[in-house]
Structure 1
Amino acid sequence: MSEGLGLGGPEAPRGGWRTATVSRVRRPIQRSVELRLDVHDRIDHMAGQHYVVRLTAEDGYTAQRSYSVASAPGDPLVELFVERLDDGEVSTYLADVVEPGDELEVRGPIGGWFVWDGDTPALLVAGGFGVVPFVGMIRHARALGRLDLLRVVVSSRTLAELPYADELMDAGALVILTREAHGIRPAGRLTAPDLLPLWEPGQTAYVCGSASFAEAASQLLVGMGFPADGVRVERFGPTGALA
């Protein structure tokens, strides 16, 4: 779910149910899958939006989950990066069964609050698979030649578990690992001193991760003086949310 400590948000496109053909399947890190989808009659999305994937069994039972879009708005395909959860009805199917050429039922783009317009400075704070919508923002910024507008910090248990690690570091992201050292920084959780050098006037802060990470990171930002109406939060979890 997305939420904001402030009010308002830009207008964003919204699409209905579509059929998508799976163009590519990759598994770059353990317990995950990267899907590239050719969405029929696709509506262009904004960086930060998401899609719903719905599965229907032969007996009519349906299950659906939402996944953030990692592709830039200018990409002709929609890229989703899915964490495989052992009890996940949708994620296990996407990670273990889906192959190129398969068709999926999808709805999107969805979401108008957690989007980046490509024109304003932003501080992106992610935990684990919460990096996915930020990869879409980074790709959009790179396409516009405005990577300078983004400051990025990501937290993960280990580097091997971090989606898009190389791409994030190429974009200048500060990588913080809680279970191993990274560079000269010892293992440890995200702190206010990590965030302070990334602050710039006029930034909007975007926070994405598990409920516990999102809560802790939001409190850090507000505690260091970041205006509450400039913080946008997206939380995800095993029961439905975003990845």
Structure 2
Amino acid sequence: MTETGQDRRLAAVWRDARVVEVRHHGDRAVILRLDVPDRVIHRPGQHYVVRLRAEDGYTASRSYSAVSAPSDDVVELYVERVPDGEVSGFLAEVVEPGDLLECRGPIGRWFAWDGTTPALGVGGGSGVAPLVSMLRHGLDVGRPELLSLAVSARTAADLPYREELEAAGALVALSRAPGGFRLDAASIGAVADPGATAFVCGSTRFTLAMESHLLSAGQPTDSIRVERFGPTGDEEETDE
């Protein structure tokens, strides 16, 4: 899964992707599956930019991690609805199968896993999206044992792809579920692996806490890769 200069040039081109499936995750998010023409095969952890264009020429764009495995025929995106979000609101409420969406990608080389080396994924809320892509890829290539996962949300209903993550043996922390717990220094210390690359994805508050816990557990600084996004309300809690 080596990325070439030609791949990066092609990934920068805007394409009209056709929406082939729309699934809603309660009222908090939507899962879109897109048929992207002449697409560059992504690496787990990379993202796509989706752009909306109004009749007056105004545009708005947002980035969303690929959830699908590279082997999937289509690109799957998990879009969390943001209050008053002009892009996420449109994607969650208006888009239907058959619609065309402008997109470009895949983008990102730092936060990407090739499925051949040990990895640890730590995600909060919708931050599990790129980790699910890694999980699916690990299963596809027959090396699921290379990837360990620790994920967090307030309740089971708040955690995207919960059943898939649980089936893979992920450590699932549900802070507001009966008998639940939070990802803290002790739980992260139990999964830290100095020999693995640690991929941490979530809000700024979450990723800063997880990075601190990993470092305290002996995870080398240069082995930690972080993908941050804005606050998401019911995303997750830490012990901070």
1:48: which partner in 2? 45
Q: Secondary structure at the match of 1:145?
A: coil
1:57: which partner in 2? 54
Q: CA deviation at 1:225?
A: 1.2
2:151: which partner in 1? 154
Does structure 2 conserve the Cα–Cα contact (< 8 Å) formed by 1:30 and 1:161? Answer: no
Q: CA deviation at 1:111?
A: 0.5
**Is 1:102 the counterpart of 2:99 in the alignment?**
yes
Q: CA deviation at 1:150?
A: 0.6
Does structure 1 conserve the Cα–Cα contact (< 8 Å) formed by 2:192 and 2:218? Answer: no
1:130: which partner in 2? 127
Q: In structure 2, what is the Cα distance between the partners aligned to 1:111 and 1:34?
A: 21
Q: How many residues align?
A: 226
**Deviates most, 96-105 or 85-94:** 85-94
Residues 152-184 of structure 1: CA distance to partner in whole angstroms, max 9, x if unpaired? 000101111100000000111010011123xxx
What residue identity is the alignment partner of 2:192?
A: W
What residue identity is the alignment partner of 1:147?
A: P
1:82: which partner in 2? 79
Q: In structure 1, what is the Cα distance between the partners aligned to 2:161 and 2:27?
A: 12
**Is 1:188 the counterpart of 2:181 in the alignment?**
yes
Task: Point out which structure has higher relative CO (alpha carbons under 8 A, 6+ apart).
Answer: 1
Percent of paired sites with the same residue: 58
Match of 2:160 among 163, 171, 177: 163
Match of 1:143 among 140, 149, 154: 140
What residue identity is the alignment partner of 2:121?
A: L
TM-score for both structures, normalised by structure 1 = 0.89
What residue identity is the alignment partner of 2:185?
A: A
- Structure 2 gaps of 5+ residues are 233-240
What residue identity is the alignment partner of 2:207?
A: A
**Is 1:117 the counterpart of 2:110 in the alignment?**
no
What residue identity is the alignment partner of 1:38?
A: D
Q: CA deviation at 1:238?
A: 6.1
- Structure 1 gaps of 5+ residues are 1-9
Q: In structure 2, what is the Cα distance between the partners aligned to 1:148 and 1:114?
A: 20
Does structure 1 conserve the Cα–Cα contact (< 8 Å) formed by 2:194 and 2:219? Answer: no
What residue identity is the alignment partner of 2:155?
A: T
1:206: which partner in 2? 199
Q: CA deviation at 1:189?
A: 2.4
1:69: which partner in 2? 66
Q: Secondary structure at the match of 2:228?
A: strand
2:235: which partner in 1? none
Q: CA deviation at 1:192?
A: 2.0
What residue identity is the alignment partner of 2:56?
A: D
Q: Is the alpha carbon distance of 1:238 and 1:225 closer, same or farther for their aligned partners in structure 2, counting shifts above 3 Å?
A: closer
Q: In structure 1, what is the Cα distance between the partners aligned to 2:219 and 2:171?
A: 19
Does structure 1 conserve the Cα–Cα contact (< 8 Å) formed by 2:16 and 2:102? Answer: yes
What residue identity is the alignment partner of 2:186?
A: P
Q: Secondary structure at the match of 1:208?
A: strand
Does structure 2 conserve the Cα–Cα contact (< 8 Å) formed by 1:88 and 1:238? Answer: no
Q: Secondary structure at the match of 2:95?
A: coil
Does structure 1 conserve the Cα–Cα contact (< 8 Å) formed by 2:204 and 2:228? Answer: yes
2:217: which partner in 1? 224
Q: In structure 2, what is the Cα distance between the partners aligned to 1:95 and 1:61?
A: 20
Computed over aligned residues only, the root mean square deviation of the Cα atoms, in angstroms, reads: 1.5
Q: Secondary structure at the match of 1:64?
A: strand
Residues 200-223 of structure 1: CA distance to partner in whole angstroms, max 9, x if unpaired? 351010100011101110011011
1:6: which partner in 2? none
What residue identity is the alignment partner of 1:104?
A: L
Does structure 2 conserve the Cα–Cα contact (< 8 Å) formed by 1:151 and 1:198? Answer: yes
Q: In structure 2, what is the Cα distance between the partners aligned to 1:49 and 1:201?
A: 23
Q: In structure 2, what is the Cα distance between the partners aligned to 1:227 and 1:88?
A: 37
Q: In structure 1, what is the Cα distance between the partners aligned to 2:190 and 2:218?
A: 13
Q: In structure 2, what is the Cα distance between the partners aligned to 1:238 and 1:20?
A: 28
Q: In structure 2, what is the Cα distance between the partners aligned to 1:27 and 1:132?
A: 15
